[in-house]
Amino acid sequence: MKKLINTPDSVLSDALRGLAAAHPELRVDADARVVFRAAPKRAGRVALISGGGSGHEPLHAGFVGPGMLDAAACGEIFTSPTPDQVQAAIAGADTGAGVVQIVKNYTGDVMNFEMGAELAELESGTAVETVLVADDVAVEDSTHTAGRRGVGTTLFVEKIAGAAAEEGQDLASVADLARRVAAAGRSMGVALTSSTVPAAGKPTFDLPEGEIEVGIGIHGEPGRRREPLEPASAIAKLLVEPVLADLDFTGAPTIALLGGMGATPLIELYVMYGEVAALLEAAGVRVARRLVGNYVTSLDMAGCSLTLLRADDEMLRLWDAPVATPGLRWGE
Amino acid sequence: MKKLINTPDSVLSDALRGLAAAHPELRVDADARVVFRAAPKRAGRVALISGGGSGHEPLHAGFVGPGMLDAAACGEIFTSPTPDQVQAAIAGADTGAGVVQIVKNYTGDVMNFEMGAELAELESGTAVETVLVADDVAVEDSTHTAGRRGVGTTLFVEKIAGAAAEEGQDLASVADLARRVAAAGRSMGVALTSSTVPAAGKPTFDLPEGEIEVGIGIHGEPGRRREPLEPASAIAKLLVEPVLADLDFTGAPTIALLGGMGATPLIELYVMYGEVAALLEAAGVRVARRLVGNYVTSLDMAGCSLTLLRADDEMLRLWDAPVATPGLRWGE
């Protein structure tokens, strides 16, 4: 294992220290392991929190800032944050208008965010709405999941619901919008290599030279099948076809995210996006907005994923609204 | 070799197709392999171009846009663009006020940008100023270089001179500023793994488990020495000390770039930045602005580099000016 770390045990705390040093516009609670905005949003606006296991950066801490999240609870690598962390995120983010928490559908996350919300409701009476993201079309159940896994659509939910909260929509409206976005996203990923969790010290799975894992999860959970490594044009089909088979993306503006898994260079992501864009056009999907880069990653895994959102005009307007976070920034 | 590509020969053209599909705000001349802004800057403003071998994305094509470059000439992977490409970039970018070309100090780049500038001057009388970046403190001469290599400071030059051009400074002023920025930057990098050039099909060099290459170049040129892999805190010293030994960074606002080489996940870069920031503070260096992420990369190399700019108030003001490119965006 070759990593730029001090010790496997200190990766998260060391990274949070670096995040704080790199981003004075964030406030890092090193004890609670929760990342907040340094300048909280205006009182009376709905707050948005998320979180999960670390190792998927910039998700979630890198999406804290105006126009997106108010706080992110950072679990150990690939490990759910504790209910206490979630409660701390809720308590620190709430401005009195209630909190929407965005949770990727993994069993530990679902349980701990629910418990965190209950603690917050009991102790401070905070109204909390939970929105689950379960967009991965690869498999129905998985190692850490009952039902579909939550992946790239999380970014869409955080951005669009974040914009709605920023402009003053109330708790029910923001939660409803977030659920509609979550329901309108689909994702599929492929791995060329396994990631290596520092505490494990070796790759999560073996993937021989010349093979890829189709339908990979962001913690290295098994996908649908192994296949020989093929040209980008063929791999693009392995991503596009199951996504389009699962939801009709025609007749609506679509937002596309072609995301790297962490160790794939940008030039390869652009190669992949060229192939994906051609397939989407041939299928009659109108891509209105697109992102190419590392957004929802899996440590040092090589590979990529495609996430599509069947948007509407309101979602598109909120997508275009200003955002200023370390990981996503435009229109300030 | 496991890569998301079609064929080794088509990587650049396929990536440019994807770049065009992903960024309607860019205009990609697929024949000349030059990337322009779709909406050219106002006539009478100085234009900025750069370019070089591909494989360092987002540098340079990802830095084309308002507040930064007007055009980037994209050579094959790790291969200088031809004089014809440079000429096409100059001709397409010039608005009548002359062109500053920013060139990383590699023998092929220096020669071909000079020839491209001569062609442009001869054929259309365009005034071209060339600014060399040679900021890598690791080695004095190298595989592809007489004198120091040009690396991370290139981003600082493109951003700061780009802002000056955008606000209407004339050719001599923009070129002078660019040269002052180039002279005020220092960089040092470390590799954990080699990158693999698609056409070669295998890693450029062997780096055994447990060893790192200190002072690596962005094409895999040898650095200063091999060392055992150490904790991030020790690796940070290997980067900070030679940079500070080469230029006094005290008594001025410093801009810091902790950049990934392409395959290193963001969480490790934050670990490294935490260590680097602590060392800089202990050394009395006042970091006024900072970037952590993948900006000047080397395909799928794992590792990172530190680049520091000894800025002044004018450079800092221009650094903060709005920029809207795929790779760098703020303050619009």
- Answer for the pair B69, B325: CB distance below 8 angstroms, yes or no: yes
**Residues B160, B165, B168: CA angle, nearest 5 degrees:** 130
pLDDT grade for A175, boundaries at 50, 70 and 90: very high
- Integer angstrom CA distances of residue A77 from A11, A296, B268: 8, 14, 12
* Single-letter amino acid code for the residue at B313: D
ipTM of the complex: 0.98
- Answer for the pair A72, A60: CB distance below 8 angstroms, yes or no: yes
Residue A141 has pLDDT above 90, yes or no: no
Residue A332 has pLDDT above 90, yes or no: no
Axis crossing angle, helix A313-320 with helix A153-166, rounded to the nearest 10? 80
- Answer for the pair B70, B49: CB distance below 8 angstroms, yes or no: yes
Provide the shortest C-alpha distance from residue B328 to chain A (in Å). Answer: 9
> Average pLDDT of A230-235?
98
A18 touches chain B (CB under 8 A): yes
Pairing of strands A225-228, A253-260: unpaired
pLDDT tens sequence across B265-308: 999 999 999 999 999 999 999 999 999 999 999 999 999 999 99
Which helix (H) or strand (E) covers residue A37, if one does? Answer: strand A34-37
pLDDT at B177: 98
Residue A251, Cβ density class (10 Å: 0-12 exposed, 13-18 middle, ≥19 buried): exposed
Q: Encoding tokens for residue B48?
A: 């900025």
The set of residues, in sequence order, having a beta carbon less than 8 Å from that of B300 and lying 6+ positions away, is A263, A264, A265, A302, B3, B193, B195, B196, B262, B263
Contact A18 B300 (CB under 8 A): no
pLDDT grade for A58, boundaries at 50, 70 and 90: very high
Q: Encoding tokens for residue A187?
A: 């994702």
Residue B332 has pLDDT above 90, yes or no: no
pLDDT at B142: 78
Nearest to A37 by CA among A74, A64, A13: A64
> Average pLDDT of B150-155?
98
Q: Whole-angstrom Cα distance, residue A204 to residue B283?
A: 40
Query: 0.95 exceeded by the pTM?
Result: yes
Nearest to A32 by CA among A79, A106, A92, A78: A92
- Answer for the pair A141, A223: CB distance below 8 angstroms, yes or no: no
Averaged pLDDT score across all residues of chain B? 97
Mutate to test the interface with A, among B202, B213, B257, B267 (most CBs of A within 10 A): B267
* Single-letter amino acid code for the residue at A99: V
For B105-195, where are the E strands, in sequence order?
128-133, 185-191
Q: B-chain residues within 8 Å CB-CB of A19?
A: 270, 274
Mutate to test the interface with B, among A271, A300, A330 (most CBs of B within 10 A): A271
